[in-house]
């Protein structure tokens, strides 16, 4: 489509349609904190006429194209304002965080997924999942007031060594790799 065709299409727009278009741009620009909605409206028309933002007249109505162009201009203006205000360090920090995501965060996500699967895994000796074991320990401590491994084992009616084995298995799953390196304090004690 030639510039003259664009101009003809623009001339065919009724005054009411222009008012509606400008009102929509004004509402959108105010919601986004744009400086001057009338400048944005004019810039959208100018960019369409210049061919910088080509209009696909076969598939998109002119008003919809101009509104999308205006929204794009508003977004660009907001981004440049953010840079002018001095939030470049913040944007740089976000970029750095995203770079770290590929390596460390992804590994942590896989570890958590594996931990979750292990928690859901079936403990054949007891018939419970590890998550259910954890809830049983909480019930014994919070509801029954058990203060030691021995009291919990008595409450469950199992040998203390069996409880200790289950507790250690559960803790190894619950603790992340960072905390697993901490020395296991109290292996010989009766404290939970």
In the chain, what are the domain boundaries? 3-85, 121-192
Low-confidence winner among 1-15, 96-110, 174-188 (lowest mean pLDDT): 174-188
Q: Is the pLDDT of residue 98 over 70?
A: no
pLDDT of amino acid 97: 65
Predicted confidence (pLDDT) per residue in 159-188, tens digit: 888 888 877 776 666 664 334 334 433 444
What six digits make up the tokens of 119?
A: 């928690």
Tokens read off for 31:
């919601």
Say whether pLDDT at 10 is over 80. Answer: no
Nearest to residue 136, comparing CAs of 160, 112, 170, 113? 170
Hey, which residues does 129 pair with through a beta bridge? 122
- Tokens standing for residue 54: 């080509």
CA angle 77, 83, 86 (to 5 degrees): 140
User: Which pair of tokens denotes residue 172?
Assistant: 């190894």
For residue 21, give every residue at least 6 positions away whose Cβ sits within 8 Å of its Cβ, in sequence order, or none.
Answer: 13, 41, 63, 66, 67
């Amino acid at each position: 489509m030639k510039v003259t065709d664009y101009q003809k299409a623009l001339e065919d727009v009724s005054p009411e349609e222009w008012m509606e278009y400008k009102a929509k741009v004004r509402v959108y620009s105010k919601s986004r904190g744009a400086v001057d909605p009338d400048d944005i409206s004019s810039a959208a028309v100018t960019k369409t006429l210049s061919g910088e933002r080509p209009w696909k007249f076969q598939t998109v109505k002119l008003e919809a194209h101009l509104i999308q162009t205006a929204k794009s201009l508003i977004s660009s203006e907001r981004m440049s304002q953010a840079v002018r205000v001095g939030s470049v360090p913040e944007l740089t920090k976000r970029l750095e965080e995203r770079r770290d995501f590929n390596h460390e965060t992804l590994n942590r996500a896989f570890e958590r997924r594996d931990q979750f699967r292990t928690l859901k895994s079936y403990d054949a000796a007891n018939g419970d999942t590890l998550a259910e074991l954890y809830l049983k320990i909480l019930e014994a401590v919070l509801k029954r007031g058990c203060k030691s491994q021995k009291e919990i084992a008595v409450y469950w009616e199992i040998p203390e060594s069996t409880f200790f084995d289950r507790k250690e298995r559960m803790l190894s799953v619950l603790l992340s790799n960072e905390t697993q390196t901490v020395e296991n304090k109290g292996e010989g004690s009766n404290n939970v």
